Amino acid sequence: MRLSSTLPTLLLAALMATSCGDNGPSGSEIVTRELPESQQSFRLVDSSAERFRYQKRDAAAPAASSQASSAPELIYTTPEGWEEKAGSMMRDVNLSFGENDEGECYVARLPGAGGGLVANVNRWLGQMGADSLTEEEINALPKKPLFGQPATFIDVTGDFSPGMGSSEVKKNHRLLGLILASDAGAVFVKMTGPEKLVAENADGFDVFTSSLDVSLN
């Protein structure tokens, strides 16, 4: 009877299928292999920061002219009355404004998703004493262009707790921010300062963020 020969074959095939992968030759033992010449070289770096692609920056160098170890250089327009400050490992661009530098605006880039959009928006809201938003509410926030892509725009007023080890609370502050969180990398632009000062410089924030670009030179 044909049934007797057909069924075992099909069942055997089905069982075989359960042990097979779908993406490249499979194997699960610890193995050694000789490396071909094309795989024998490495870039040996000194620190975890470099290994994790955080920029290696001279802290005293102006942000706009600093050269990332491998990341492309940022170019931008500095709004009138704003001043460039030294960058840091976490800040690619660091600007201040106001008579006594009460306002600041910085750009930070993180590899990967940088913690994700929801967590970062709510972290910023928390710093301003505002309630957290749901993912749906965050997705419904207005967008502004950043590097040619729609970035989530946050505008919140409150008492600003910068954190980072400081317990200081700055009354009546305002935060304007843009977050562009893609899987390839995350970009944050954050502007904070006294409410009135930020309102006066809100156009400058738009000038600055819309001018941000990557130099191809």
Partner 1 sequence: MAGKSINWSPSNWPRLFYQFFTSFKVATAVFVLMTLVTLLGTLAQVDHGLYAAKVKYFHSFFFTEKIFGIPVLLPGGLLLMIILTINMVLGALVKVRKRWRGAGLLISHFGMIMLLVGGFVTWAFATDGYMALYPGMSSNRVESYRNWQLEVFPLDENGKAKQAWILPSDELQSIRVDEQRSYDADGLPFNVIVNGFTKNATPIPVTASAASDATGKEIDGFKLAPQDASKEAEQNLPGAYVAFDPDGEGENVEAILWAGSYRFDPKEDPMPFQFTVDGQKYGAMLAKKSWHVPFEVRLDEFIFERHPGVSTARNFESRVTRLEEEKETSLEIKMNEPMRYVGYTFFQESFGPPDGRPGEMFSQFAVANNPADQWPLWSLVVTGIGLGIHFCVMLVDFIIRSRRKTSASPQS
Please give the angle made by the CA atoms of 176, 178 and 183, to the nearest 5 degrees: 155
> How far is Cα 75 from Cα 211, in angstroms, rounded to an integer?
8
Q: How far apart (Å, rounded) are the C-alpha atoms in residues 214 and 1? A: 72
89 near partner 1 (CB under 8 A): yes
Residue whose entry in the numeric block shows the structure tokens 């946050």? 154
184 touches partner 1 (CB under 8 A): yes
Size of the site for partner 1 (CB under 8 A): 66
Selection from 129, 124, 103, 96 nearest residue 197 by Cα: 103
| Least Cβ distance, residue 182 to partner 1 (angstroms) | 8
41 binds partner 1 (CB under 8 A): yes
Residue (19 or 100) nearer to partner 1, CB: 19
59 binds partner 1 (CB under 8 A): no
Near partner 1 in 134-163, by CB under 8 A? 148, 163
Distances (CA, A) of 64 to 50, 72, 76, 79, 102: 20, 11, 8, 13, 21
Tokens 């500095």 — which residue?
Answer: 78
Residue 122 neighbours by CB under 8 Å, 6+ apart: 132, 133, 138
135-to-37, 86, 121 alpha-carbon distances in Å: 48, 35, 10
Instruction: Candidates 28, 99, 131, 168: give the one binding partner 1 (CB under 8 A).
Output: 28
CA within 13 Å, CB half, 55: 23
167 binds partner 1 (CB under 8 A): no
Closer residue to partner 1 in complex, CB, 2/171: 2
| Residue 133 sits in the site that holds partner 1 (CB under 8 A) | no
Residue 92 Cβ vs partner 1, minimum distance, rounded to whole Å: 13
13 contributes a contact to partner 1 by CB under 8 A = yes
Q: Which is nearer to partner 1, 32 or 100 (CB)?
A: 32
Q: Which is nearer to partner 1, 99 or 165 (CB)?
A: 165
| Alpha carbon distance 97, 104 (integer Å) | 6
Element (H, E) at 175: strand 170-182
- Is residue 39 at the binding interface for partner 1, with CB under 8 A as the rule? yes
Can you give the binding site for partner 1, defined by CB under 8 A?
2-4, 6-7, 10, 13-14, 16-18, 20-36, 38-45, 47-54, 70, 72, 89-90, 110-116, 119-120, 123, 127, 148, 163-164, 183-184, 214, 216
